[in-house]
Amino acid sequence: MNLRRLGAIARKEILHIFRDSRSLASAIATPLIMLLIFGYALSLDVDRIPTALLDLDQTPQSRELVREFRGSRYFDITQEAQNYRLIEQEMNARHILLAIVIDPNYARHLESGEEASVQLLLDGSDSNTASIARGYAEGVVQSFGGHIRTTAQTMKAGKVPQLGVGVETRVWYNPDMLSRNFIVPGLIAVIMMIITGNLSSLCIAREWESGTMEQLLSTPVRPAELALGKLAAYFLVGLIDMVICLVMGVYVFDVPFKGSLLLLIVSSCVFLFGALASGILISATARSQLVAYQLGTLTTFLPGFLLSGFIYSITSMPSVIQVITYFVPARYFINIIKGVFLKGTGLKLLWLDFLLLCIYGAVMFFLATRKLRQKVA
């Protein structure tokens, strides 16, 4: 490999990037915009649930339960219904997601030690939010019911009954249970895969469309030198995007950073190399920029969002899909970046993910140079 020829290819590609100011601005601004939009708009936190209340008991105990719901940040009591018909109308109009109906004999059953019932009506068209809202509502009802029952027993027996089991809950790594601490690190990995993959997927195809590829083929440049030279130029752009994403994640979204910055940088470089090499492979396969862009989107956007564990848990996917996720490099980088950000995990535990990223980069570069060699031939 001749470093002079490699440097010439890299310099040519860098000059092309800086001369095309619109593409450069797009490459820098797109991660920024995507991170802002998804970071603020995409949230798994479920709170301020629009809720209607129907109190058929109208006792001090039922009104106290109503106050429990009003005092919770998870529920926004927008309607005090008088009957089921109004609840149905509000739910059909999507004004409420949850309706709480207190049984007419709620207080009497509660004080007598019998089972007191509270009905929860949920809009199941949004099944995920509905299941979370049901869990919150059941927690409020059970907690309040236990408190009332304990108070009644204390008044009768004259002493506080001893509980057999006590539960103490502690949340590690994300104690505030903020979804942005989970989303932003994974979003950085997905954005980097999409941007770098799409950028490099156009570079060889553009040479074919503009007619300059024949001129490159007439030079002594080897396929590995051509691939590395083009990769180096976009690697620089990818590093700038990565720095922007990391700075925004820490200082804009306040995601805690507990691990090694060196490990994160090295892992990011390995991930960028593999993503760019896969883009060059796509570009060498398709001579049309349109086809290259479509293939790049298909192989980066969809797997990055759906099969990387970014939002959807891999363990809950069907077995066949779980096998496919092993071929998605964003899966391993997301494991690394979340471990470094939230847990402070080191290479001792992340070595397998790091090794698989290295293998992915080497395989993609080998396939890209081989495809370029076939084009040369």
Burial class from Cβ neighbours inside 10 Å (0-12, 13-18, 19+) for residue 300 reads buried
* Segments making up each domain of the chain, as ranges: 3-43+178-376, 49-157
CB atoms within 10 A of CB 113: 11
Per-residue pLDDT tens digits for 135-147: 888 888 877 766 7
Q: Which residues contact 176 (CB under 8 A, 6 or more apart)?
A: none
Per-residue pLDDT tens digits for 174-204: 776 677 787 888 888 888 887 777 777 766 7
Q: How far apart are CA 148 and CA 76, in angstroms?
A: 24
Which DSSP string corresponds to 44-84? ----SEEEEEEESS-SHHHHHHHHHHHH-TTEEEEEE-SSH
Query: What 8-state DSSP symbol labels residue 316?
Result: G
pLDDT beyond 60 at 161: no
pLDDT beyond 50 at 244: yes
Q: Return the pLDDT at 61.
A: 78
Quickly state the pLDDT bin for 164 (edges 50, 70, 90): very low
- Alpha-carbon separation of residue 68 from 14, 56, 129 (angstroms): 62, 17, 21
pLDDT beyond 60 at 377: no
Helix or strand holding residue 191 (H, E): helix 179-200
- Identify the CATH number of the domain defined by range 49-157: 3.40.1710.10
Give me the percent of the chain exceeding a pLDDT of 70.
Answer: 85
Mean residue pLDDT across the chain: 79
Q: In the predicted model, what is the mean pLDDT of residues 222-248?
A: 82
Per-residue pLDDT tens digits for 47-92: 788 888 888 888 887 888 888 888 888 888 888 888 888 888 888 8
Written as six digits, the tokens of 126 are 């949004």
Q: Return the pLDDT at 359.
A: 94
| Strand partners of residue 118 | 102
